[in-house]
């Protein structure tokens, strides 16, 4: 008995088999558990981007992040093209690089016409070094340092101002630049007070949030900003959270932001840009049913256009900043399976050579993942096991009650949808070197992040002479 889930992944007595559609470019990557190019090859092994996963492991070792370039580019194009299709005004999609910031990924996003959303000086530096245009880079964060603000100003990117402390610092910096300096671009981040059904740690839109200006302070905020000639307030920003399946909250946000735009105009502030954030969810398991990228974009565009038409207003430049839904499902993590432990009548543990240091989401958010054994793709599922990491931490559990074929040490376990907030939140807990990452396409694999060495782990250590 085989049933096909809307994600295109089959569920039966065998493993979760990859999609086989020849129309992969028509699928929304955020709705697929496996990367778009995934398939089972003639050796009964998982293949991604034309590369056999077991061969990649032999070449690059494990744990190993494997990123499908075709899937990432498809997601970028679907966001970009959906806005062009449904929005009559100018639009700009930004990659929220906090999901995974590295040179190669930022370069791919840039090559597809996307801008880059950054949340620190380090992410800003990475985006610039990748070749991204400063005019398409937007700096976020709720506690930017003076150094980060100056870096952003000198780089020519837009600063998304989060709070009064930051706004005061910017005014001081502007005053110190002297007459004749061009005003620098800012957006104001406002807290919309819109809640959605997601983990409390990744909600950002509710009033009780560390992010954004309180909307009850709009009059005071707009009055202050309208008097700052050295600052060019070009837009408004809001974000309601992450891993969201509901469409109505985003439509409500768009409508609310149009009210803010109208109010700003009464203070002489011409809002030319609206950034509605991101947050579109993805498929981690068969029970997840997120909207497609197009289904997320279309109603937002309709709300903005309808409001502008009713009020006879010009269409603002419409921005959004997806992260997870752009990259998560295009990446998997490969591990080598090792020890096992049977606790009679309770559970069986099977350990892999990574864990919470390369994927902290299960221990942080109780996140759930799906997995396959890459070198035994057609073997029947005969075991229920708990996948444990190798760290000295009882909570280092990647997947509970995973359905697997009979395995043995040395088999290759692949965990799906690990492109977002895995490498970017990785650590050196227990002094494990951080994992390597490869980009695969058309049978070619390119290293985009080298595996750390033991020498890398002590590179920043300082040993006082008296301890030598």
Count H helices, E strands: the chain?
Answer: 12, 22
d(CA 78, CA 83): 9
Q: Does 323 count as an annotated binding residue?
A: yes
Q: Does 459 count as an annotated binding residue?
A: no
Measured between alpha carbons, how far is residue 382 from residues 14, 403, 406, 407 in Å? 9, 7, 6, 10
Q: Does 389 count as an annotated binding residue?
A: no
Cα-based angle 212, 217, 222 (whole degrees, multiple of 5): 90
Q: Does 383 count as an annotated binding residue?
A: no
Q: Is 392 noted as a catalytic residue in this protein? A: yes
β-strand partners of 94: 115
Burial class (CB in 10 A: 0-12, 13-18, 19+), 227: exposed
Burial class (CB in 10 A: 0-12, 13-18, 19+), 76: buried
Q: Does 6 count as an annotated binding residue?
A: no
Give the contacts of 215 (CB within 8 A, at least 6 positions apart).
190, 191, 192, 193, 260
Q: Does 393 count as an annotated binding residue?
A: yes
Q: Which of 51, 320, 392, 462 is catalytic?
A: 392
d(CA 335, CA 421): 18
Which residue from 126, 106, 439, 140 is spatially nearest to 278, judged by alpha carbons? 140
Q: Does 80 count as an annotated binding residue?
A: no
Phi and psi of 231, rounded to 5°? -120, 130
Sequential DSSP letters for 154-180: HHT-EEEE-SHHHHHHHHHHHHHT-TT
DSSP letter for 281, please: -
Measured between alpha carbons, how far is residue 210 from residues 148, 218, 347 in Å? 19, 17, 40
Judged by DSSP in three states, 299 sits in helix
Binding residues for pyridoxal 5'-phosphate: 279, 321-324, 421
Residues acting as catalytic residues: 392
Binding residues: 279, 321-324, 361, 365, 393, 421
Binding residues for substrate: 324, 361, 365, 393, 421
């Amino acid at each position: 008995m085989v049933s096909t889930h809307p994600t295109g992944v089959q569920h039966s007595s065998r493993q979760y088999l990859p999609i086989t559609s020849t129309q992969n470019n028509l699928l929304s990557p955020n709705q697929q558990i496996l990367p778009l190019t995934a398939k089972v090859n003639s050796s009964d092994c998982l293949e991604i981007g034309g590369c056999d996963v077991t061969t990649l492991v032999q070449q690059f070792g494990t744990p190993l992040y494997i990123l499908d370039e075709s899937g990432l580019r498809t997601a970028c194009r679907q966001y970009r093209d959906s806005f062009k299709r449904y929005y009559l005004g100018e639009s700009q999609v930004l990659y929220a690089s906090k999901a995974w910031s590295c040179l190669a990924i930022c370069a791919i996003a840039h090559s597809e016409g996307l801008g880059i959303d950054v949340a620190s000086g380090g992410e800003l530096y990475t985006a610039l070094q990748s070749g991204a245009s400063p005019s398409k880079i937007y700096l976020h964060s709720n506690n930017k340092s003076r150094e980060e603000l100056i870096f952003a100003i000198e780089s020519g990117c837009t600063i998304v101002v989060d709070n009064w402390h930051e706004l005061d610092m910017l005014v001081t910096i502007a005053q110190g630049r002297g007459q004749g300096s061009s005003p620098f671009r800012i957006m104001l981040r406002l807290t919309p007070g819109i809640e959605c059904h997601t983990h409390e740690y990744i909600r950002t839109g509710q009033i009780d949030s560390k992010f954004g200006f309180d909307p009850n302070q709009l009059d005071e905020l707009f009055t202050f900003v309208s008097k700052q000639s050295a600052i060019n307030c070009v837009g408004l920003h809001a974000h309601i959270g992450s891993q969201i399946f509901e469409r109505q909250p985003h439509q409500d946000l768009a409508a609310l932001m149009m009210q803010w735009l109208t109010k700003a105009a009464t203070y002489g502030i011409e809002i030319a840009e609206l950034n509605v954030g991101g947050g579109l969810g993805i498929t981690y398991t068969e029970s997840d049913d997120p909207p497609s990228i197009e289904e997320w974009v279309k109603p937002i565009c309709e709300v903005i256009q309808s409001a502008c038409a009713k009020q006879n207003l010009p269409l603002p430049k419409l921005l959004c900043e997806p992260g997870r839904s752009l990259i998560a499902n295009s990446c998997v993590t490969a591990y080598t399976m090792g020890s096992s432990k049977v606790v009679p009548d309770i559970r069986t543990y099977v350990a892999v050579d990574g864990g919470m240091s390369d994927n902290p989401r299960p221990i942080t958010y109780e996140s759930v993942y799906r997995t396959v054994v890459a070198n035994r793709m057609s073997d029947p599922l005969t075991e229920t096991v708990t996948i444990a990491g190798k760290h000295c931490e009882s909570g280092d559990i990647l997947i509970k009650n995973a359905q697997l074929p009979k395995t043995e040490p040395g088999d290759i376990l692949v965990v799906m949808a690990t492109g977002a907030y895995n490498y970017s939140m990785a650590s050196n807990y227990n002094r494990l070197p951080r994992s390597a990452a490869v980009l695969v396409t058309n049978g070619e694999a390119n290293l985009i992040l080298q595996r750390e060495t033991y020498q890398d782990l002590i590179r920043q250590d300082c040993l006082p002479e008296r301890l030598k």
